Structure 1
Amino acid sequence: MTKQQIPLPARRWHDMGGDTAGPIPMDQRPDADHDFALWEKRVDALMILGSAKGFFIVDGLRRVLEDLGEEAFETMTYYERWIMAVNQNLIEGGAYTTADLAAKMADVTARGDTYGDAAAPVK
């Protein structure tokens, strides 16, 4: 009696295991001298805090990252993808709504492009 061959599911676009990826650019190596931008540090902190507060787990973040699609992985930076995943999970977890986010984004936009352009808050 022989074992029946079970067909493996097709690999999704993000499953790169075993593929040749080419050389790693020197500025992207883990040991590269890289000073993270303030917003990147904030994304990392938001991920840690949101997870600690129970709004999401790593599986939820991975689901959103994988659902972003191949184009996002080709065109967006690591932290741009992560803030999208964290944001989606915080919305799904009930931390805030899309309407809350839109209102806050409008407030931030009204401040100006730089801190020097920021208008004083209306009281």
Structure 2
Amino acid sequence: MTELADKDVPRALHDMGGVSRYMCEAVDTEPHELTDFDREVDAIRQLLGAKSVMSVDELRRGIEALPEADYLRLSYYQRWLLSMTATLLQKGVFTQAELAQAMKDIP
């Protein structure tokens, strides 16, 4: 049945449930500490939501739209950050030039 699910069910990359190539990988269920980066990205997401700039649905859609290589390479909160950045660029909250300048200012 799993092989049929792999071939016959169209699915986005993030929907890995029942896909045989992922079924043998153990899921890490141990609690872990959030990094400062994780907390900062979550805080930004909360602020964007509180100010009605970006919804959780937009965040999810952005994550689901990531190319497969990026999705698999990035951490959970890196995916969030990429999704937020793309959405805010699309909405015109800031421009690509402003983003590039801000990136230069990071120590």
Q: Judge same fold: TM > 0.5, yes or no.
A: yes
Q: Distance in 1 between matches of 2:95 and 2:18?
A: 40
Partner of 1:117: none
Q: Which of the residues 70, 75, 86 maps onto 2:73?
A: 75
Q: Which of the residues 24, 27, 32 maps onto 1:24?
A: 27
Partner of 1:11: 11
Task: Give the gaps of 5 or more residues in structure 2.
Answer: 1-7
Contact 1:50 1:90 in 2 (8 A): no
Q: Which amino acid aligns with 2:27?
A: I
Q: Which of the residues 46, 51, 54 maps onto 2:52?
A: 54
Query: Cα distance, 1:9 vs. partner?
Result: 6.6
Stretches of 4+ aligned residues off by more than 6 angstroms: none
Q: Which of the residues 37, 43, 46 maps onto 1:45?
A: 43
Q: Which of the residues 67, 87, 93 maps onto 1:95?
A: 93
Deviations 1:39-60 (A, max 9, x none): 1100000011112112211222
Q: Distance in 2 between matches of 1:19 and 1:107?
A: 42
Q: Distance in 2 between matches of 1:104 and 1:56?
A: 20
Partner of 2:4: none
Query: Cα distance, 1:91 vs. partner?
Result: 2.0
Answering whether residue 67 of structure 2 is matched by residue 64 of structure 1, we say no
Query: Cα distance, 1:69 vs. partner?
Result: 2.0
Contact 1:55 1:89 in 2 (8 A): no
Query: Cα distance, 1:17 vs. partner?
Result: 3.2
Q: Percent identity?
A: 34
Contact 1:61 1:86 in 2 (8 A): yes
Partner of 1:105: 103
Give the aligned CA root-mean-square deviation in angstroms: 2.1
